């Protein structure tokens, strides 16, 4: 598995990581998927305190026990559960981040986090205070690096200009190309690594699935037609899944992609993209010609 440097940091991440949100809540099954991923060269595991109310972090922590040095462990913060209330409240305050990290460390069974990410954010947040919290945790050795997980260009620009983030997690796929126009060029210029989530668009670009609904900017019929056109590029035995994952990896700003997997079969299909050749410039032009160059309408 090829490894890439995450931004300007010392973190080396496998080009295909594992998005752990889809693992489910069964400990044995989740551990088996994680162990298989590690055996096949995956080093980047991405979770969040939000997933299954912290249970996902616990499952990841148990699965990597004794193998902590093999993993670049990424988790997220910012969504706060308020006792007696349903759902989560957004809280990017310094006080909350410094408190929440302790709970994540306990659930993960580790004394440090490789990549701590703000799980969202708006332009009205106390951004300076949020940055102070991450910088303090970095000085204390509680985290090695920090980044943000955001879909808002205006928020991304603020952190790029005011912080030492090494990464931005952003949705990026053949059917969601918004980042190409508003995010990727900036991050490439500044040497900040992109972790692309949703490269298969919740299965819309998976080879063995039949879409039942449309996705961003695509009605179901348009999505079906796009999949049909993409099959023309399935040369050398390359599947639609592999094609879609290689597309997200093709942009020079992207350090890693994190497709999820809820079964061993899905995991192996995803990881097989590491074994096929990269897309040629001509193939990339073809894909961009048959897909939509989406753009952000809000939070620009």
Residues acting as catalytic residues: 51
Find out whether 68 and 108 touch, Cβ atoms under 8 Å. no
- Location of structure tokens 């009205």: 124
**In this structure, what DSSP letter does residue 151 have?**
-
Find out whether 200 and 175 touch, Cβ atoms under 8 Å. no
Find out whether 17 and 245 touch, Cβ atoms under 8 Å. no
Find out whether 168 and 187 touch, Cβ atoms under 8 Å. yes
Burial string for 125-157 (b: 16+ CB within 10 Å, else e) reads bebeebbebbeebeeeebbbbbbbbbbbbebbe
Burial of 172 (0-12, 13-18, 19+ CB in 10 A): buried
Pairing of strands 12-14, 3-5: antiparallel
Task: For helices 55-63 and 94-108, give the axis angle rounded to 10 degrees.
Answer: 40
Specify the 3-state DSSP secondary structure of 111.
coil
Distances (CA, A) of 205 to 7, 101, 189, 193, 225: 27, 35, 29, 24, 12
Burial string for 174-185 (b: 16+ CB within 10 Å, else e) reads bbbbbbbebbbe
The span from the CA of 254 to the CA of 193, in Å, is: 6
Pairing of strands 18-19, 44-46: parallel
């Amino acid at each position: 598995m090829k490894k890439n440097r995450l931004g300007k940091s010392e973190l080396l991440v496998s080009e295909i990581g594992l998005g752990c949100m889809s693992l489910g809540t069964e400990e044995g099954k989740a551990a088996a998927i994680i162990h298989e991923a590690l055996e096949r060269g995956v080093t980047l595991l991405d979770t969040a305190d939000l997933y299954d109310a912290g249970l996902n972090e616990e499952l990841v922590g148990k699965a990597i026990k004794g193998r902590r040095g093999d993993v670049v462990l990424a988790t997220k913060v910012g969504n706060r559960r308020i006792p007696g209330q349903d759902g989560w409240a957004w809280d990017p305050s310094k006080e909350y981040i410094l408190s929440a990290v302790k709970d994540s460390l306990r659930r993960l069974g580790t004394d440090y986090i490789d990549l701590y990410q703000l799980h969202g954010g708006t332009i009205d947040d106390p951004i300076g205070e949020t940055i102070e919290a991450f910088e303090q945790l970095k000085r204390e050795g509680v985290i090695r690096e920090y980044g943000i997980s955001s879909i808002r260009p205006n928020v991304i620009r603020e952190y790029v200009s005011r912080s030492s983030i090494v990464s931005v997690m952003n949705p990026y796929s053949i059917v969601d190309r918004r980042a190409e126009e508003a995010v990727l060029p900036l991050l490439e210029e500044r040497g900040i690594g992109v972790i692309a989530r949703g490269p298969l668009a919740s299965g819309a670009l998976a080879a063995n699935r039949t879409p039942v609904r449309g996705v961003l900017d695509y009605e179901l019929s348009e999505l079906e037609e796009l999949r049909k056109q993409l099959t023309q590029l399935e040369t050398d035995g390359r599947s639609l899944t592999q094609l879609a994952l290689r597309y997200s990896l093709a942009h020079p700003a992207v350090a890693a992609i994190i497709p999820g997997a809820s079964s061993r079969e899905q995991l192996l299909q995803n990881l097989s993209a590491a074994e096929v050749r990269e897309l040629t410039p001509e193939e990339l032009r073809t894909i961009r010609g048959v897909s939509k160059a989406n753009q952000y309408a809000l939070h620009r």
